Structure 1
Amino acid sequence: MTSSFDPPPHSFRSVFPVFALCWLAVFFDGMDINIYGAVMPHILDDHGFGLTPADAGTIGSWTTFGMLIGALAAGNLTDWLGRRPLLAGSVTVFSLGSAVCALAGSPAMLGAGRFLAGLGLGGLMPLGLAMVMEFAPRGRVALATGLLMTSYHAGGMAATVLGMTVAPAAGWRSVFWAGALPAVIAVPLLWKLLPESPGVLLARGQGERARAVAARYGLPRPAAGAAPAAGAKGRWAAVRALFAHESRGTTPLLWLASFCGLMLVYGMSTWLPQLMRTSGYGLTSSISFLMVINAGGIVGMLVAGRAADRFGPVRVSAVWFVLTAVGALLLKSHLPLAVTYAVVAVTGVWLYSAQAMVYAATNSVYRESERAAGLGWVTGVGRTGAVVGPWLGGVLAASGHQSWGFTAFALAGFLGATAIALVPLVARESAVAVARAEA
């Protein structure tokens, strides 16, 4: 006899509504993150505003510091408040931050707006990733992660278009007003159409509702072991589980890889247009490099997702980190414009998906009940790299050594490759140690 809760075959088609809503939310996330880099040259040219290169780097770091706090908070509050309210709240907060930036009368107020935006941006990514990983068909988690992250780069390209077209015609403030629109567009859709996580529902004692959501989207029946423990003690237990015997060594390696990946992502997103401009390229060309690197990022996510499902996200991430480092070193040279566009594009192919595959690797390291906390901490601790990247770019720009930024990014790529490559080795050693202890 077939139960009413027996799920239909699990496929991308059955979970498309969830995936589409998360894709939209992350699209606006990518747009808001990249808006600052896209308009920075225009703000620096607005001499009445008084923004210096050093201030610009500090503001970029305040953005990512807010993201660090948002990511850590979201990963540990999701079982209490639910993923749908936190996703909608994250979009609302970063939209309000963009509105503050549009109204800013000083660099200090601009920094406050970017910090507020960072709080929302940081919370959104780990929640969106956790939702997609939970709803993804079995054996297609890395592909689903890569597909979701294409939205980030589509949003980055949209920000670049706004920086190239709207900012010169209507001023840089108008671009930040565009960054406030997600609260009007995405939040109502998330509240109305996005389901709650079956694991979170089960943790909150809503077993019947959890099974109904699983059946509706073709998911396996939620089991008690897949649910995060409820309450403050449960959230603390989830954090302590990240350093259990099985993952004691792999957790710091994932954090280090995420630090390197996000230092690369946010350092390049914030400073690439200005670095290329100081290297002798025109304003329009310099901003267009941001579009090209995000276009490469979309291709990279599609390629990396399929490759990771076949070869494993750890191997793909390690190779991608190395190739990113090589691309960063090539950008130190003033190459012909066409060659530079090609180098920027292929660097984008590797740059963003190297970090995305770090996220995908957490799926094999942590149990289902620990996944949201694990992702929250991997993204949250990694945000320290996102703080360092923009800050370092500002320091180097202020001292006249912008080209050294590409060397720093290359070193981060090599270090990230080493860290992620060690994850399976350390995991095997930990498993052997646990087996010996239990024997």
Structure 2
Amino acid sequence: MSSSTALSARGSRLALLVIGLCWLAVLFDGLDMFIYGSVLPHLLETKTFGITPDKAGDLGSYATFGMLVGALTAGTVADRIGRKQLMTACVTLFSLASAVCAISGSLAVFGLGRTLAGVGLGGLLPTAISMVSDYAKGGRIAITIGVLMTAHHAGGILSAYVAKWLVDPYGWRSAFWVCVLPLLFVPVLLKLLPESLSFLVAKGRTEEATALADRYEVELPAVTARKTAADRWDALLGLFRGGEWLQTLLYWLASFGGLLLVYGVATWLPTLMRTEGYELANALTFVVVFNLGGIVGMLVAGRAADRFGAPRIAAIWFALTAAGVYLLSAHMPMGVTTLVVFLTGVFLNSAQTMIYATVSIRSTPDNRATAVGWTSGMGRFGAVFGPWLGGQLLASGNGDWGFTAFALAGVSSMVFIGIAALRSARQPQASDDQEKLLAAH
């Protein structure tokens, strides 16, 4: 085996190690995120803590507000302490927060637990995306992120089965105790997950970066060292310099609509399907089918985005999502409904992820965490609004309008990301230069 072939093989093993560990972390993220929606029909039926639809919507928004805080601070914190340490802290936080939910004796304490869990959940996802982007092969960032995000939907599937198997015989608290188990994964992350090479180089820790690169026989990335708080703010301000401000704003608006749709549907899908006349077991089955679609969608969209461009694929996917979500407002035969739920999952979940992929591809390695974190963070305002909106519609007796409202959010994201795609198409040279930079990385 030639030295170049050996170098490639060791680099591939390192990439697989990083992606595999991040995949497991995001799996637990998805479990913790979706578990609330999976147990919500039970909480409403038993009137646990005196919960009502509008209060349930507020609770859903508490978690997404926490995710907003976590996502907005993730880039800055990751640039300060490192992506490995931040990922470990996030897994620890949302696991312990689930314990708070499990032992809670009031709605206020339960809400506190969901808010703290949201901080950890919101901080983990953009950090994991940035981490795998660091180690992805040139030109394959979108598919790598797509593979990572299948874990989020695998966690959603797991949450539905946890609810189906444990809630009736053991109570809703048992589901949240399952979400504490990721604490056992923390020592594994600390021992096996390498720190981001880009972070080490940017912090001037060249000896540590060189030792890690030599250990796995990979090349060091070309990153400009960033050592001061002023430099970190400069990374954020760089998103608005020149003509970038409009592109950044379009991505933020598209992310707002996308996450409103994602978390609105994730929180209320089982309950809304109950209002359409389906049994609870079937409503939870729809959660499984929806997330199976999400896994398929991530793989399909990732490959399509690497070939045709992430913004273009995101716009098409959001259009198809809006159509699928709107169809769910009609009571159809079980087989047809299941197919529509599956296809909606295919397009909805991967459409939002392709926004992250677009931002990651357009960013340089040393400010990628900031760019992805802020795009995710601004979108979290939509994630806060979505669960609240669903609760208000149900509380006012307008649950049938829930799917229609979420479909309109999909249309808005299609428009914003479509405009962003058109603007990118008019700047081919800038795109080519960025791809060359990523290939070198």
Say whether the fold is shared (TM-score over 0.5): yes
Letter in 1 for 2:147: L
1:222 corresponds in structure 2 to 221
- Cα distance in 2 for partners of 1:401, 1:10 equals 57
1:33 corresponds in structure 2 to 33
Go from structure 1 to structure 2 and tell me whether the alpha carbon gap of 1:75 and 1:172 turns closer, same or farther (over 3 Å shift): same
TM-score by length of 2: 0.93
Shift of 1:18: 0.6
Following superposition of structure 1 onto structure 2, how do residues 310-325 of structure 1 map, counting pairs within 5 Å? 310-325=307-322
2:249 corresponds in structure 1 to 252
Q: Is the 2:223–2:365 Cα contact (8 Å) retained in structure 1?
A: no
- Cα distance in 2 for partners of 1:344, 1:424 equals 27
1:374 corresponds in structure 2 to 371
Q: Is the 1:15–1:217 Cα contact (8 Å) retained in structure 2?
A: no
Following superposition of structure 1 onto structure 2, how do residues 340-351 of structure 1 map, counting pairs within 5 Å? 340-351=337-348
Residue 114 in structure 1 maps to residue 111 in structure 2: no
Following superposition of structure 1 onto structure 2, how do residues 226-241 of structure 1 map, counting pairs within 5 Å? 227=225, 229-241=226-238
Pairing partner for 1:417 from 414, 427, 433: 414
The unaligned stretches of length 5 or more in structure 2 are 431-441
Shift of 1:8: 3.4
Shift of 1:214: 3.4
Residue 305 in structure 1 maps to residue 307 in structure 2: no
- Cα distance in 2 for partners of 1:246, 1:213 equals 38
Q: Is the 1:35–1:163 Cα contact (8 Å) retained in structure 2?
A: yes
Letter in 2 for 1:25: A
Shift of 1:365: 2.3
Q: Is the 2:202–2:366 Cα contact (8 Å) retained in structure 1?
A: no
- Cα distance in 2 for partners of 1:42, 1:238 equals 45
Q: Is the 1:157–1:290 Cα contact (8 Å) retained in structure 2?
A: yes
Q: Is the 1:27–1:154 Cα contact (8 Å) retained in structure 2?
A: yes
2:434 corresponds in structure 1 to none
Q: Is the 2:199–2:366 Cα contact (8 Å) retained in structure 1?
A: no
- Cα distance in 2 for partners of 1:13, 1:419 equals 38
Deviations 1:244-289 (A, max 9, x none): 1152211011111111111111001100000000111111111211
Letter in 1 for 2:392: V
SS of equivalent to 2:8: coil
Q: CA RMSD in A?
A: 2.0
Go from structure 1 to structure 2 and tell me whether the alpha carbon gap of 1:317 and 1:216 turns closer, same or farther (over 3 Å shift): farther
Q: How many residues align?
A: 428
1:198 corresponds in structure 2 to 197
Letter in 2 for 1:204: K
The unaligned stretches of length 5 or more in structure 1 are 434-439
Shift of 1:176: 0.5
Shift of 1:24: 0.3
Shift of 1:47: 2.8
Shift of 1:49: 2.4
Shift of 1:13: 4.0
Q: Is the 2:130–2:360 Cα contact (8 Å) retained in structure 1?
A: no
1:437 corresponds in structure 2 to none
Residue 399 in structure 1 maps to residue 396 in structure 2: yes
SS of equivalent to 2:77: helix
Letter in 1 for 2:372: L
Deviations 1:220-267 (A, max 9, x none): 322233x5x223212211111111115221101111111111111100
Letter in 2 for 1:77: V
SS of equivalent to 1:249: helix
Letter in 2 for 1:167: V
- Cα distance in 1 for partners of 2:188, 2:335 equals 41
Pairing partner for 2:259 from 259, 262, 276: 262
Go from structure 1 to structure 2 and tell me whether the alpha carbon gap of 1:401 and 1:215 turns closer, same or farther (over 3 Å shift): farther
- Cα distance in 1 for partners of 2:411, 2:399 equals 20
Pairing partner for 2:273 from 276, 281, 284: 276
Go from structure 1 to structure 2 and tell me whether the alpha carbon gap of 1:274 and 1:243 turns closer, same or farther (over 3 Å shift): same
Q: Is the 2:312–2:421 Cα contact (8 Å) retained in structure 1?
A: no
Following superposition of structure 1 onto structure 2, how do residues 383-394 of structure 1 map, counting pairs within 5 Å? 383-394=380-391
Shift of 1:398: 0.3
Shift of 1:354: 0.2
Q: Is the 1:14–1:218 Cα contact (8 Å) retained in structure 2?
A: no
